[in-house]
């Protein structure tokens, strides 16, 4: 890690991978609060407060890279205005659509009625061109959230914005300053063009593949035979260990509060103040690894829910996640907020500073990460204890019961109808814990040429920071570090389990649950009031942020103990994890990967919460601690 400069007014920031970027950007979100004054706002940024809001979706020209492009805006801005609500209020939002196409707004992470959720085709018909829609719901939670389009690629072209909800009784962890830090990925390319390219050449934007020079370097380090065997194995799988993100910095300019790296978004502080930074990943396809060289980060909330404070040097934030962190600068100098893309192809950055115009040194990008055989399910990277738990495989896959699998190898080429299975009797799930790596089966629907990988040895722990962050010399946050204050909302043990496999075919860019695209799948059925467990097994080499609308996902550790309450859960390559859900929200809900192009390529399911034999609702509505 590079050392920090004390303060420098003249030094040019490190250029990004596409050369000099225009400093002109929208939505500067210099929003600091202090004990002396209310939320401040810059000349180009809007903060909307109260209980009644008028929002207008439209188009406007933007120039982030030296090329003028048309963005999708709310009230003329990218990002959209910051909405500040109060817990317990009823908010009314009148949204007008001035686009030529149908549009929508989804209030991400909000617990609300299904017809207010904003997903066209499920909860409502969408907002027609020239039309309006009136959203009205009670705010039953507090914390940091965001809103975005749920209409094709409008989110990618700029329709996203932050939400901050004031907690009744004030913040549990008060600070003197409070800033939103919204990360996003802008492209000058037509998203339809990106999607079309990915369908034809899924690795088109991966400009950091291994070369002949890498081969000889690895041979000198690891030996010729080992290096040849490694290349042969990846070649046989027809996969690439550098495939961390589908769309890289070649196509993206990474923004912080709508500002490019050279634009240098800045938040001010006075020495000794506590500063809350509300990080929101509003990107379409990007994971960011965030740190502030010279400062420790105390994480106090995740996905809007307060957690027991944990101090780290760095954290990974997946698409759609939010993290609140508190920092305490002790010196009168500038600090760089550094958010590098997971594949190290670029970064967003800003500055915390005691005065405007100061900058600190921008650290170099970390080395390009490589996926390992652990990430392909070839070995157990982390282990967890197992405990008994009821399992019901009546939903999520179609085979009659689990069968033992051969754990000596990972199964690729799932087109073989017998791959990964044998005719042995079903495993007795009453005698094994849901956290056990072996307590799963590959559903019959995974026997498809649209899958290129199946995992037979999933990693079941929550303490792995993920590819590119392991053993980097910094204290990196993991889900094992997060503990929601107050525990679970619903303390009933889940009565049944739905197991879903995250599946895809890298070369064909097809993504699915259980080998079935959305167009091929039937809805998942939840019984109103029931407590159930969802277990996800990632049968792919990509990390997927999975989002269930309308209900909380209460993540469990490998033994089935409650860990943290979330609205979006990152599932790493070859990982198996579980979370409990209380189905207290009747209606039709979306359930999908929050990587936008994965969702559009088929990794989407519909959830129906219907009257049934579930017990009474326990009301999963926010921070009940």
Token pair of 488 as six digits: 């679970």
| 404-418 mean pLDDT | 32
Determine if residue 361 is left, alpha or beta; phi over 0 gives left, psi from -120 to 50 gives alpha, anything else beta: beta
Least confident segment among 22-26, 398-402, 589-593: 398-402
- For residue 68, pLDDT beyond 50: yes
Task: Give me the pLDDT at residue 278, please.
Answer: 98
Within the chain, what is the greatest distance between any pair of CA atoms?
Answer: 72
Q: Could you tell me which residues are beta bridge partners of residue 595? A: none
Task: Give me the pLDDT at residue 447, please.
Answer: 74
Q: Could you tell me which residues are beta bridge partners of residue 459? A: 575
Quickly state the pLDDT bin for 398 (edges 50, 70, 90).
very low
The per-residue pLDDT for range 88-102, each reduced to its tens digit, is 999 999 999 999 999
Q: Where are the beta strands (DSSP E) in 342-483?
A: 347-353
The per-residue pLDDT for range 224-275, each reduced to its tens digit, is 666 555 555 545 555 566 578 999 999 999 999 999 999 999 999 999 999 9
Task: Give me the pLDDT at residue 218, please.
Answer: 54
- For residue 223, pLDDT beyond 60: yes
Determine if residue 473 is left, alpha or beta; phi over 0 gives left, psi from -120 to 50 gives alpha, anything else beta: left
Say which residue, 217 or 79, is predicted with more confidence. Answer: 79
Quickly state the pLDDT bin for 78 (edges 50, 70, 90).
very high
Q: Phi and psi dihedrals of 215, rounded to 5?
A: -60, -50
Least confident segment among 52-61, 308-317, 342-351, 362-371: 362-371
Fold of domain 47-189+251-353: Immunoglobulin-like (2.60.40)
| 546-564 mean pLDDT | 97
47-189+251-353 with 374-395+408-415+428-610: one CATH topology? yes
pTM above 0.85, yes or no: no
The per-residue pLDDT for range 148-158, each reduced to its tens digit, is 999 999 999 99
3-state secondary structure of 406: coil
- Please state, for a pLDDT cut of 90, what percent of the chain lies above it: 68
Q: Could you tell me which residues are beta bridge partners of residue 52? A: 92
For the chain, give every domain's residue range: 47-189+251-353, 374-395+408-415+428-610
Highest mean pLDDT among 135-149, 212-226, 605-619: 135-149
Task: Give me the pLDDT at residue 32, please.
Answer: 40
- For residue 123, pLDDT beyond 70: yes
**Cα 378 from Cα 494, distance rounded (Å):** 30
3-state secondary structure of 414: coil
Say which residue, 587 or 372, is predicted with more confidence. Answer: 587
Nearest residue to 153 (alpha-carbon basis) of 612, 599, 454: 599
Contacts 24+ apart (CB under 8 A), 37-43: 39/84, 39/178
Spatial contact of 443 and 455, defined as CB atoms under 8 Å apart? no
Query: CATH number of the domain at 374-395+408-415+428-610, out of 1.10.3210.10, 1.10.10.10, 2.60.40.420, 2.60.40.3500?
Result: 2.60.40.420
Task: Give me the pLDDT at residue 393, please.
Answer: 37
**Cα 22 from Cα 261, distance rounded (Å):** 9
Nearest residue to 605 (alpha-carbon basis) of 503, 531, 508: 503
Helix/strand/coil (H/E/C) assignment for every residue in 125-176? CCECCCCEEEEEEECCCCEEEEEECCCCCCCCCCCEEEEEEECCCCCCCCCC
Task: Give me the pLDDT at residue 466, please.
Answer: 93
Task: Give me the pLDDT at residue 108, please.
Answer: 98
- For residue 495, pLDDT beyond 60: yes
The per-residue pLDDT for range 513-527, each reduced to its tens digit, is 999 999 999 999 999
Work out the mean pLDDT of the chain and round it to a whole number: 82
- For residue 537, pLDDT beyond 50: yes
- For residue 403, pLDDT beyond 50: no
């Amino acid at each position: 890690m590079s050392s920090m400069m004390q303060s420098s007014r003249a030094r040019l920031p490190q250029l990004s991978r596409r050369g000099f970027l225009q400093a002109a950007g929208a939505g500067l979100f210099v929003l600091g609060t202090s004990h002396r004054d209310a939320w401040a706002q810059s000349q180009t940024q809007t903060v909307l407060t109260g209980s009644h809001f008028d929002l207008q979706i439209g188009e406007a020209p933007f120039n982030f890279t030296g090329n003028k492009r048309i963005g999708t805006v709310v009230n003329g801005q990218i990002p959209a205005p910051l909405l500040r609500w109060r817990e317990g209020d009823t908010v009314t939002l009148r949204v007008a659509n001035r686009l030529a196409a149908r549009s929508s707004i989804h209030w991400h992470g909000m617990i609300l009625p299904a017809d207010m959720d904003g997903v066209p085709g499920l909860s409502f018909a969408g907002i027609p061109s020239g039309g309006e829609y009136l959203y009205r719901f009670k705010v039953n939670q507090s914390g940091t959230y965001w809103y975005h389009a749920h209409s094709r690629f409008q989110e990618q072209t700029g329709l996203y914005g932050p939400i901050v909800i004031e907690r009744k009784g004030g913040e549990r962890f008060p600070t003197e300053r409070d800033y939103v830090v919204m990360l996003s990925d802008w492209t000058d390319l037509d998203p339809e063009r990106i999607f079309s390219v990915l369908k034809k050449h899924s690795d088109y934007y991966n400009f950091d593949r291994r070369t002949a020079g890498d081969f000889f370097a690895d041979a000198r380090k690891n030996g010729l035979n080992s290096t040849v065997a490694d290349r042969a194995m990846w070649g046989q799988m027809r996969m690439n260990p550098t495939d961390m993100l589908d769309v890289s910095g070649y196509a993206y300019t990474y923004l912080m509060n709508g500002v490019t790296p050279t634009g240098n978004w800045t938040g001010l502080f006075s020495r000794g103040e506590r500063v809350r930074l509300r990080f929101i990943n509003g990107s379409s396809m990007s994971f960011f690894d965030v740190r502030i060289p010279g400062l420790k980060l105390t994480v106090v909330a995740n996905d809007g829910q307060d957690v027991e404070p944990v101090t780290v040097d760095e954290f990974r934030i997946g698409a759609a996640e939010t993290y609140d962190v508190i920092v305490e600068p002790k010196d009168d100098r500038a600090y760089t907020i550094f958010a590098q893309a997971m594949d190290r192809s670029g970064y967003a950055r800003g500055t915390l500073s005691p005065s405007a115009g100061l900058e600190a040194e921008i650290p170099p990008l970390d080395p390009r990460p490589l996926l390992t055989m652990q990430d392909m399910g070839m070995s157990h990277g982390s282990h967890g204890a197992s405990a008994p738990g009821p399992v019901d495989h009546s939903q999520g896959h179609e085979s009659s019961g689990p069968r033992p699998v051969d754990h000596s190898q990972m199964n690729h080429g799932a087109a073989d109808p017998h791959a990964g299975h044998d005719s042995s009797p079903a495993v007795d799930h009453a005698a094994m814990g849901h956290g056990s790596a072996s307590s799963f089966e590959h559903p019959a629907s995974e026997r498809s040429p649209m899958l290129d990988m199946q995992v037979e040895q999933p990693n079941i722990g929550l303490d792995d920071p993920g590819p590119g962050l392991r053993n980097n010399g910094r204290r990196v946050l993991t889900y094992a570090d997060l503990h929601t204050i107050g525990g679970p909302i619903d303390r009933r043990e889940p009565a049944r389990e739905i197991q879903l496999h995250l599946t895809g075919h890298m070369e064909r860019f097809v993504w699915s649950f259980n080998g079935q695209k959305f167009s091929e799948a039937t809805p998942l059925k939840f019984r109103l009031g029931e407590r159930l467990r969802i277990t996800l097994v990632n049968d792919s080499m990509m990390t997927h942020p999975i989002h269930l609308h309308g209900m909380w996902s209460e993540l469990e550790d490998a033994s089935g103990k409650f860990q943290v309450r979330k609205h979006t859960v990152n599932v790493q390559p070859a990982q198996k994890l579980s979370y409990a859900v209380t189905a207290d929200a009747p209606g039709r809900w979306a359930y999908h990967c929050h990587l936008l192009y994965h969702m559009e390529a088929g990794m989407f399911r519909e959830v129906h919460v219907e009257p049934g034999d579930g017990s009474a609702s326990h009301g999963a509505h926010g921070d009940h601690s």
